[in-house]
Amino acid sequence: MIARVAAQNTVLNAVARLDTVTVARDDAYQCVLAADVVSPEDVPPFANSAVDGYAVTLADMANGAAELKVSGTIAAGGAPEPAVTPGHAVRIMTGAPVPAGAEAIVMVEDSQRVGDDHVKLTARVQPDQAIRPAGDDVKRGDTVFRSGDEVNAAVIGMLASMNVEHVDVTRRPTVAVLSTGDELVDDGSRLGPGQIRESNKTMLVRLVAEAGCDVVDYGIVRDDEGKLEEVLRHAAQHCDAIVTSGGVSMGDYDVVKAVLGRIADMQWMQIAIKPAKPFAFGELDGTPIFGLPGNPVSSFVSFELFARPALRKMAGHTQPQRPALNVTAQAAFNRKPDGKEHFARAIVTANNGVLSATPVSAQGSHQLAATALANALVILPDGNPVAPGDSVQALLLSF
Ligand code: AMP
Ligand code: MG
């Protein structure tokens, strides 16, 4: 058996970041920038008011209070007119351009209208108060985002704000997903003797998409070497990576093993973990292949630990692994010394800022029902059970 970290390093070192492509801004969502982004414009483009209020001169407000004539109103999107002159205030709205002569904005909460066209202002006013200068967020020529940054929702918003219409990103990997097994049924038909419903491919299609990849669903491939070879060669030609489930352990009908052993350059690993001990990794015609075990929970854990980080590295992420966080065991996590690191599926909750983990009710590698709503993998090093109150490390899958 090999250590989990060694297996992860083998896989991560064997895959490379994909090529750089130029894409329209909206298509860059969840991609990783492959070049720095320099702003072509000032944001905001002009000095504007941070509040709804009155534009004034400092001299008029020197005593902390003044009654001024209101000489006009400027709305957001309007022209910066009229200019502010001594003895006058200009009504101004949030985001409206600051007129000439304005040295500060007094917020409307500090005002009282007097008659039709006067206002009484009571405020200690600082120079440039409530005025946002042009370029206060970003100046033209600033490097705002760097190669390696992920394009999240706010980044997309900022790109729009700067009028950046195209960006260079690492190409999103296209990943083939397939399951293998003569026992699998996915068309809703009545189960025959020995048949079961397919679940892994259905799950993996979503896990691959959640990892930020495009998916090609190759469906169920029967335990037939000729057919499997044809599908795998097609996938290797058309995709950046292949994820398979089933057929990588020691059974007589483990056809993935038979076929890939013949046509691809593979490492058949026995990893010192539970679940997901068998795992295969290699290349077919230069395309990385992740051979996940068939038991559904093993498939899930194996994808998380080995395939997901590699796919994210290919997509350009510089920190492709999930961080391990300290959490407090809320209940006992049972295990015995067996030379393996255990990845217990758990529910992590936050109570007053403290993260607590409770194991899901069933920990068998065939019991996907209990794992399905887990949001964490708690790492149990080889050894004895973990008692309630003990600190353990967990990989948070979602929160
Ligand atoms: P294998 O690794 O092919 O020997 O499969 C191990 C176990 O996982 C067997 O009980 C299979 O029936 C089950 N299995 C394999 N592939 C799938 C799948 N795609 N969906 C659900 N169960 C599967
Ligand atoms: Mg099988």
Point out the ligand 1 atom lying closest to the alpha carbon of residue 180.
Answer: 16
User: Are 291 and 333 members of one domain?
Assistant: no
Which pLDDT value is given to residue 73?
Answer: 98
CATH of residue 160: 3.90.105.10
How many residues does this entry show for the chain? 399
User: Are 179 and 287 members of one domain?
Assistant: yes
Structural domain includes residue 100? yes
Structural domain includes residue 319? no
User: Are 153 and 182 members of one domain?
Assistant: no
Which pLDDT value is given to residue 252?
Answer: 81
User: Are 159 and 107 members of one domain?
Assistant: no
Indicate the top mutation candidate among 180, 196, 207 to test ligand 1's pocket, ranked by most ligand atoms within 8 A of CB: 196
User: Are 205 and 306 members of one domain?
Assistant: yes
Q: Nearest C-alpha to atom 6 of ligand 1 is from which residue?
A: 294
The continuous run of DSSP H or E covering 158 comes out as helix 153-161
CA 18-306-22 angle, to 5 degrees, is 20
CA 142-143-145 angle, to 5 degrees, is 135
Task: Please state, in angstroms and rounded to a whole number, the distance separating the CA atoms of residues 4 and 389.
Answer: 26
Which pLDDT value is given to residue 204?
Answer: 98
**Structurally, how many domains does the chain consist of?**
4
Nearest-CA neighbor of 156 among 168, 165, 147, 146?
165
User: Are 65 and 36 members of one domain?
Assistant: no
pLDDT tens for the 399 residues of the chain, in order: 999 999 999 999 999 999 999 999 999 999 999 999 999 999 999 999 999 999 999 999 999 999 999 999 999 999 999 999 999 999 999 999 999 999 999 999 999 999 999 999 999 999 999 999 999 999 999 999 999 999 999 999 999 999 999 999 999 999 999 999 999 999 999 999 999 999 999 999 999 999 999 999 999 999 999 999 999 999 999 999 999 999 988 888 889 999 999 999 999 999 999 999 999 999 999 999 999 999 999 999 999 999 999 999 999 999 999 999 999 999 999 999 999 999 999 999 999 999 999 999 999 999 999 999 999 999 999 999 999 999 999 999 998
User: Are 150 and 275 members of one domain?
Assistant: no
- State which residues form the domain around 121: 48-132
User: Are 358 and 260 members of one domain?
Assistant: no
Structural domain includes residue 392? yes
User: Are 147 and 183 members of one domain?
Assistant: no
Point out the ligand 1 atom lying closest to the alpha carbon of residue 278.
Answer: 2
User: Are 262 and 359 members of one domain?
Assistant: no
Structural domain includes residue 196? yes
User: Are 182 and 144 members of one domain?
Assistant: no
State which of 269, 285, 314 marks the end of a domain: 314
Structural domain includes residue 23? no
Indicate the top mutation candidate among 295, 298, 366 to test ligand 1's pocket, ranked by most ligand atoms within 8 A of CB: 295
Give distance in angstroms: CA of 6 to centre of ligand 2. Answer: 26
Which pLDDT value is given to residue 254?
Answer: 87
Give distance in angstroms: CA of 195 to centre of ligand 2. Answer: 12
Give distance in angstroms: CA of 198 to centre of ligand 1. Answer: 8
State which of 288, 314, 340 marks the end of a domain: 314
Which pLDDT value is given to residue 318?
Answer: 95
Which pLDDT value is given to residue 250?
Answer: 80
CATH of residue 270: 3.40.980.10
CATH of residue 368: 2.40.340.10
User: Are 368 and 286 members of one domain?
Assistant: no
pTM of the model: 0.94
3-state helix, strand, coil in the chain (%, to 5): 20, 35, 45
Give distance in angstroms: CA of 246 to centre of ligand 1. Answer: 5
CATH of residue 80: 2.170.190.11
State which of 283, 314, 345 marks the end of a domain: 314
In the DSSP assignment, the letter for residue 35 is S
* Encoded tokens for 182: 């003569």
Which pLDDT value is given to residue 335?
Answer: 97
